[in-house]
Amino acid sequence: MPGIFDLQNFLPFRLSRLAHEVSQRMASTYSEKFDIDIPQWRVLATLSAKEPCTAQSVVSSTRTHKSTISRAVSSLTETGWIERAPSDEDGRERLLRLTTEGRRKFNELVPVVLAFEHSLYAAMDQESMQNLASGISALENVLEVGTNSAKSKKVVL
Amino acid sequence: MPGIFDLQNFLPFRLSRLAHEVSQRMASTYSEKFDIDIPQWRVLATLSAKEPCTAQSVVSSTRTHKSTISRAVSSLTETGWIERAPSDEDGRERLLRLTTEGRRKFNELVPVVLAFEHSLYAAMDQESMQNLASGISALENVLEVGTNSAKSKKVVL
DNA sequence: ATATTATGGTTGCAATCGAAACTATAAGTC
DNA sequence: GACTTATAGTTTCGATTGCAACCATAATAT
């Protein structure tokens, strides 16, 4: 007699559904004002913190497929939000930087997405919010996602 | 002076990355043995708990797009895992059921995915695991995802 | 120096997905 | 009963995605 399986309680399913819902809603908060998609957003956010930066670096810090990042970089370059410059150290690399315009737009975008994130937290009580953050961190560690400390550890050793 | 934005700490990003990673790994645990994808898996899991069941019911309980479910149902019907029967009550509906073969295969599949889920939990300490579960529940409630209680509430009123 | 292997990045291709249009049936309105 | 609106489900189409092949450059081995 096989036990019953409860999809509604199954972690991978719940995570996937939740992430999808959150992404959808977040995209809708800025898609009208700013014509960018999620991969583009990830490139901008990464560059905003660490500039200049290679596409490969964006790939590893966001864990997004390199072809996706490549296309996001191309389109952002076309629209003038970022610049690609050859690297002196390594001829294969291209150093990415936000343009003045790109940084200006990004600075407009940030408050919008932060407001969205805040609206999620605000609707939860403090304790649930901290539970979520710490639970996610724990799972990130298990999967060696997140801070690339895990990967670094391997590489360094 | 714009403050810096930390993508690595941004909830929507972390959730999306985590869900993607979990889905990928889970799929790899069964993709070799069983030739099904995630939408198909969701249909099977839903039917296993509530049979017979309409496609619409699978859509609302999994929050997966109806065209995706329609295609999953079609392919599962072709491979003989489920059956589609006309409904007496409503000519538009088709009642879905697992076939004997489908139920047998599903019963083989369940331990594999449960083992995967268990391996995640086993690698976390008890407290983090509960934090994660309760944090996810809280966010599900905020977004009115999960138990369709929220939707029901609206409808009932 | 040359051959081999590895890496950063781009692109072609096939699969997937979701929005919207469409079919068929049901429910509500006049 | 005819008309309008709503719902279940399918299909077409455009956009996005990831894999794999590819190009260019760099690092390593012989």
B48 touches strand D (CB under 7 A): no
Is the predicted pLDDT of residue B42 greater than 90, yes or no?
A: yes
In CATH terms, B8-123 corresponds, of 3.40.50.11690, 3.40.190.290, 3.30.1370.60, 1.10.10.10, to 1.10.10.10
Task: State the pLDDT at residue B1.
Answer: 67
Q: Does domain A31-102 have CATH number 1.10.10.10?
A: yes
B23 touches strand D (CB under 7 A): no
Contact (CB<8Å) A132/B125: no
Task: State the pLDDT at residue A156.
Answer: 25
Contact (CB<8Å) B17/A131: no
Residue of A106, A136, A145, A152 to mutate for B, most B C-beta atoms under 10 A:
A136
Q: What is the percent of chain A with per-residue pLDDT over 70, rounded to a whole number?
A: 92
Task: Quote the mean pLDDT of chain B.
Answer: 89
Residues B5-13: what's their mean pLDDT? 94
Contact (CB<8Å) A131/B134: yes
Task: State the pLDDT at residue B144.
Answer: 80
A68 touches strand C (CB under 7 A): no
In B31-78, alpha helices (H): 38-49, 55-62, 66-78
Residue of A6, A8, A62 to mutate for B, most B C-beta atoms under 10 A:
A8
- Residues sharing a CB contact under 8 Å with residue B54, sequence separation 6 or more, in sequence order: B87, B93, B94, B95, B96
A79 CB neighbour count, 10 Å cutoff: 15
Angstrom distance (rounded) from CA A119 to CA A107:
19
Contact (CB<8Å) A18/B142: no
Tokens of B80: 């003989």
Whether omega for the bond prior to residue A2 falls within 30 degrees of 0, making it cis, is: no
Mark the ranges of chain A whose per-residue pLDDT is less than 50. 148-157
Task: State the pLDDT at residue A147.
Answer: 63
Name the residue ranges covered by the structural domains of chain A: 31-102
SS3 string, chain A, reads: CCCCCCHHHCHHHHHHHHHHHHHHHHHHHHCCCCCCCHHHHHHHHHHHHCCCECHHHHHHHHCCCHHHHHHHHHHHHHCCCEEEEECCCCCCCEEEEECHHHHHHHHHHHHHHHHHHHHHHHHCCHHHHHHHHHHHHHHHHHHCCCCCHHHHHHHHC
A67 touches strand D (CB under 7 A): yes
- Crossing angle of the two packed helices B55-62 and B38-49, in degrees rounded to 10: 110
Task: State the pLDDT at residue B31.
Answer: 83
Q: What is the percent of chain B with per-residue pLDDT over 70, rounded to a whole number?
A: 92
- Residues sharing a CB contact under 8 Å with residue B34, sequence separation 6 or more, in sequence order: B105, B108, B109
Task: State the pLDDT at residue B105.
Answer: 94
**pLDDT, tens only, A106-120:** 999 999 999 999 999
**pLDDT, tens only, A117-140:** 999 999 999 999 999 999 999 999
Tokens of A58: 């964006």
CA atoms within 13 A on the CB side of A29: 22
Mark the nucleotides of strand D covered by protein, meaning any atom under 7 Å from a CB.
7-12, 16-20, 24-27
**pLDDT, tens only, B48-92:** 999 899 999 999 999 999 999 999 999 999 999 999 999 998 999
Reported residue count of chain B is 157
Tokens of B8: 């690595």
Task: Look at residues A57, A88, A89 and name the one whose alpha carbon lies nearest to residue A70.
Answer: A57
| Beta-ladder partners of B132 | none
**Candidates B23, B46, B132; nearest CB to A136:** B132
Task: State the pLDDT at residue B146.
Answer: 75
SS3 B65: coil
Tokens of A123: 């609707």
- The pairing of strands B94-98 and B82-86 is antiparallel
Q: How far is the CA of A68 from the C1' of C1 (A)?
A: 39
**Candidates A6, A107, A142; nearest CB to B2:** A107
